[in-house]
Structure 1
Amino acid sequence: MENLRSQDVQTTRTSPPPAMRVIHLDLNEEESRREMAASKYGGICFHVGIAAMLCLLVVVLLCSAPIGESDSFRSSEERYARQRQAYLNKERRQRMGGEIVLSPLEEEANSRLMAIKQVDEEMHHLWRNYHSQAPPFLSHLNISDTNLYAVLKSMPKGGLLHVHDSGMLRTDILIDLTYRDNLWVCVNLDQGFEDFRFSRNFPHIPPTQDYQCNWMLMSNFFEFEARDAFEDRIRKSFTVRPEGYDSAAEMARHLRRQQRLIHGLIAFRPIWSDFIFSMLHDFYNDGVQYVELRSSLPIMYDLDGNNSTILETAEAIVSVTNIFKDSYKDFYGVKLIYAPSRDFNDSRLDEYLANARLLKLHYPNFFAGFDLNTFGDECNLPLLGQDTQLLKINKDIDFYFHAGESQCPDSLRPDSNLLDALLLGSKRIGNSVNLPFHPEIMKGMQILKVAVEICPLSNHYLQYFNDFRQHPAAYLIAAGFPVVIGSDYPYFWNSAPLTDDFYVAFVGVVSGWGNLRLLKQFALNSFLYSSLSETERNVAVTKWRCNWNRWVSNFVNISRDSDANKS
């Protein structure tokens, strides 16, 4: 009543006509009635909506059960078995390759492949004494003798998206190159080799901050050292030490030295083109039809000390690749990921980025993107996010960074690089062994369709994992995360360009539940997550699919003939 009186006082002050007051009051009452009605019927609609949703849920549950029977009529054992199978089916579909539908011929090939795998595991005891010594299947006496390895080697594996040029020349060939005339070697105080250079005269190359050494003719070693002893020493310079290294920094120093030695040999102008052709031939023979090659593009030189440019080095790769494609029509080609060595203070980063721009300008169809090679030593290198130059160029140049592959006392450092690589827009991330510890980063990568490049043998030899069943790729593959298989530096550990890593992933990482669907998905992922444009990808996949169908048919026919001969 007090409210009404106050309203009356206010209306008296404004002195509207009595008729207006009546109309105003009538309108207020009408509005109140409408609000009450809306509240009444809104509540009814709400309850009706809830009831409809419950009815719909019941219908869905009833429809999900087999026609003619309900869980209420099943025994507890039957309900348990049904629920258990439902979980297994869902996990099977979620795994990489789980949604792939195989043709009847592929289904037969899958059955025969799994039978071969089981026989090989029983014959070669691949998992015996697994935890007390190095994985037995890494012994090449075993791995190359298995029938499964032969099958995988013949299989068209698609593209190879993570491999370094310095890891693609066989050790025996490198040793043969050291016997050529006019070769000089830079020897450190421990009589170790630091660098090579073909030169008509004494090479006037000043030492760097990374190492100190003195130049001498390589032929001098042949006079004072037995050939076997010399070759053993040089072989150790070109391979990874089986017993491992005391720290990531020591391992990185060895890898940097390896690359320097190899580039000193193959960057000699008469050798570089031959090296590229030999590398492509090895890729092709191993079932690889497309390559994204990581290289720092060593500067070619001649006997008189004349250096080429980085564009001439790239031009040689393009020219040799075109010649190779003319001879092998089903080989799609090569793209470059420019990957110079990362400095401890990144003093040369501006130079590297200028080179990347130059390469993209002159070879837009050949240049894929940019990486910084850490050699597994993220522990001591600056974080990617600290390099503001990268923020300024990431809209113009695609990145393909290594990140999260080190074992550091401070594990936050390499893991921070994972986040930086994602935020900088890296199209793929290399050797991200720590990724499963970061579910939010994984979600972001899945949304943005950023794949992980996994190189199982590299992870083993560089001391990240021994037991492949504990490799994080096992989880990533089981969860359906986009994964591509690479090989890193395959000839550093005497492996094939890609087959050995496929074998280890198939036998070791995914263990019992790997099948032909997974292998097919690995191959398809190498195109789906490549730097190829949509048009290029369609052409490359068409070439691969022709080879794949031919391989499936040949594999099944050979297996049938073998079964017929046994019977």
Structure 2
Amino acid sequence: MWPLTIILLTNILLAMSQIHKIVLKERETLIERELKMMVGYSIELSATELVANEIIMDLKRKEIDYGFWNPKYYHLLKHFFEYKELVKDTKLYKILKSMPKGAVLHGHDTGMLGPDYVLELTYCDDLWICFKEDQSDVNFVFAKHRPTGWCATKWERAMDIRRTTNATEFDAKLRKFFTLVVVNPQEVYTDLDTVWDYFMKYFIRTGPLFTYKPVWEKYYYDTLFALREDNVMYFEIRTVLPPLYDLEGNIYNSVDTAKSYKRVTEKFKKDYPDFFGAKLIYAPVRSVARETLKNYIKVAKEIHKLMPDFLAGFDLVSQEDLGKPLKEFYPDLAKSGLNLYFHAGETNWYGTSTDENLFDAVLLGTKRIGHAFALVKHPLLMKEVKKRKIALEVNVISNVVLKLVDDVRNHPLATYLSQNMPVVLSSDDPGVWEAEILTHDFYVAFMGVSSRHADLKMLKQLALNSLYYSSYGEKHKLVREFQIRWMKFIGSILKMK
């Protein structure tokens, strides 16, 4: 009896072991098949890239595994304001900082540089300042003599204020007007409308500071410099093309502003020949009547006629939920003849006019979609986007700061990456929340959003995507130069061993 029992048990154990092996094999096959669907799966790494990849992945796995077992200490589970400086000290962040990142295809004119830079601009000559009575806001204007415009208190020269008060305290007070960063963001920015209100006030407040023509041109030149310093080689800037002014009373219209951009771009390329330049996407506000939109299109066409190689195309911006839906502008946009690069789906709503801007953007032939946050809810549209090769300009940190998502692990980018969607990483308005031009967004996407298995192939593909989906005329030149820089980057990682 016992020998038979032993034989039966042995056979059962062998059968169970065999089943276990089959299940494990099937599990490995399924995981492998899914990984082959990810962004970057088709890239073949060279021998040196494979070594560099192991270094990067060792750092990534250590950080993620520590966070898995100690979630309360994992930086990326907190608000961006709490960890933005801390992550700069990590080895992986420093590697990503030095990585060639290709292009920034979604960045807004006066939202690129941080509050310390903006504060320095207030040291320019001829700047006048007017505070509200309760000191809760401030106005700026450049003028030779005391301005006559409305002021709740009185206009004072910035240099006079610093000379007659504690300049350090004054600067600290002023700096707060140039950033969204606070120590208690969840308490201050309770909902999306509230944070957007603070966000828009930044642009309204700083408008007269930035639109002084010498400052405008300096800001843009220094933006290009900051991009280059963050290992970006090309830029497509979204701009409202506001009228500029000078001390002589001259007012420069939107076309003049575009000319100014082109002139500064050419100067920067001459000063730094290794930078591949920039193009404009004219992006005025979307909360307007049809007649105003028609005028926008007229301006865009005039700029295109004067500078056909400099104007990339047209977009509409501002808080999408409060703006006019694209369907209200269908006839004018459809016959505009302009390349379109629409913001669309920057919302948490589903089935609303804002959400359905995604359908209109695709049907109007948009080249790329800005944010596309809500696209994940539309499986059919996702297939169309992929089929039509419409790039998704994803701005992870922007979506966190502007209250679309709290936990970056839940960002729809995770789905887009897992399904090899045509994703381009960008940074939107990094200066307003004190992020670096692009490195912070790459770090958060790589460490907080993508799979633990996502590696150097994904990083390389994301950088290449930004070149492939740009409006740059000779993409092969961009890609060739990128490959040269990439291999130098790989060499620098190998030296870490």
Which TM-score band (shorter chain)?
A: 0.7 to 0.9
For 2:481, the equivalent position in structure 1 comes to 543
Instruction: List per-residue Cα deviations over 1:91-128 (Å, max 9, x = no partner).
Output: 11110001111111111111111112234456789843
- 2:431 is aligned with 1:487: no
Residue 181 to residue 192, structure 1, CA distance change in 2 (3 Å):
farther
Q: Distance in 2 between matches of 1:97 and 1:370?
A: 30
For 1:107, the equivalent position in structure 2 comes to 50
Q: Distance in 2 between matches of 1:258 and 1:126?
A: 37
Deviation at 1:137, TM superposition (A): 9.1
**Contact 2:213 / 2:244 at 8 angstroms: preserved in 1?**
yes
For 1:386, the equivalent position in structure 2 comes to 328
The percent of aligned pairs where both chains have the same amino acid is 34
Deviates further, 515-524 or 290-299? 290-299
Q: Distance in 2 between matches of 1:136 and 1:275?
A: 25
Deviation at 1:511, TM superposition (A): 4.2
The one-letter code matched in structure 1 to 2:115 is T
Aligned pairs for 1:203-214 within 5 A = 203=147
Aligned pairs for 1:296-315 within 5 A = 296-315=240-259
| 3-state SS of paired residue (1:76) | helix
The one-letter code matched in structure 2 to 1:462 is L
Q: Distance in 2 between matches of 1:88 and 1:200?
A: 68
When the two structures are aligned, how many residues end up with a matched partner?
A: 476
Residue 314 to residue 214, structure 1, CA distance change in 2 (3 Å):
farther
Instruction: List per-residue Cα deviations over 1:307-366 (Å, max 9, x = no partner).
Output: 123233222222222232233333211011111222254663222111111111111111
**Contact 2:84 / 2:440 at 8 angstroms: preserved in 1?**
no
Q: Distance in 2 between matches of 1:140 and 1:99?
A: 32
Deviation at 1:191, TM superposition (A): 4.0
* 1:276 paired residue among 204, 217, 220: 220
- 2:136 is aligned with 1:198: no
Instruction: List per-residue Cα deviations over 1:526-567 (Å, max 9, x = no partner).
Output: 01111223xx111111111111111112221x123xxxxxxx
The one-letter code matched in structure 2 to 1:512 is R
Gaps of 5+ in 1: 1-73, 561-567
Aligned pairs for 1:34-183 within 5 A = 75-121=18-64, 127-129=71-73, 134-135=78-79, 139-183=83-127
Q: Distance in 2 between matches of 1:291 and 1:314?
A: 15
* 2:339 paired residue among 394, 398, 420: 398
For 2:496, the equivalent position in structure 1 comes to 559
For 1:459, the equivalent position in structure 2 comes to 399
Q: Distance in 1 between matches of 2:334 and 2:408?
A: 39
* 2:436 paired residue among 496, 501, 509: 496
Deviation at 1:86, TM superposition (A): 2.2
| 3-state SS of paired residue (1:233) | helix
* 1:329 paired residue among 273, 277, 289: 273
Q: Distance in 2 between matches of 1:268 and 1:328?
A: 25
**Contact 1:194 / 1:257 at 8 angstroms: preserved in 2?**
no
For 1:415, the equivalent position in structure 2 comes to 355
Residue 93 to residue 215, structure 1, CA distance change in 2 (3 Å):
farther
- 2:369 is aligned with 1:429: yes
Deviates further, 305-314 or 476-485? 305-314
Deviates further, 119-128 or 430-439? 119-128
Residue 426 to residue 306, structure 1, CA distance change in 2 (3 Å):
same
Q: Distance in 2 between matches of 1:483 and 1:192?
A: 40
| 3-state SS of paired residue (2:235) | strand
Residue 413 to residue 169, structure 1, CA distance change in 2 (3 Å):
same
**Contact 2:195 / 2:403 at 8 angstroms: preserved in 1?**
no
Deviation at 1:231, TM superposition (A): 2.9
Instruction: List per-residue Cα deviations over 1:35-55 (Å, max 9, x = no partner).
Output: xxxxxxxxxxxxxxxxxxxxx
For 1:352, the equivalent position in structure 2 comes to 296
TM-score of the superposed pair, with normalisation by structure 1: 0.77
TM-score of the superposed pair, with normalisation by structure 2: 0.88
Cα RMSD of the aligned pairs, angstroms, is: 2.8
Aligned pairs for 1:284-295 within 5 A = 284-295=228-239
Residue 103 to residue 448, structure 1, CA distance change in 2 (3 Å):
same
| 3-state SS of paired residue (2:472) | coil
Gaps of 5+ in 2: 1-16
The one-letter code matched in structure 2 to 1:153 is K
Q: Distance in 2 between matches of 1:132 and 1:313?
A: 39
Q: Distance in 2 between matches of 1:432 and 1:214?
A: 44
Q: Distance in 2 between matches of 1:214 and 1:418?
A: 46
Deviation at 1:142, TM superposition (A): 1.9
Which has the higher relative contact order, 1 or 2, with Cα contacts under 8 A spaced 6 or more apart? 2
Deviates further, 267-276 or 511-520? 267-276
Deviation at 1:500, TM superposition (A): 0.5
Deviation at 1:300, TM superposition (A): 2.4
Deviation at 1:465, TM superposition (A): 1.4
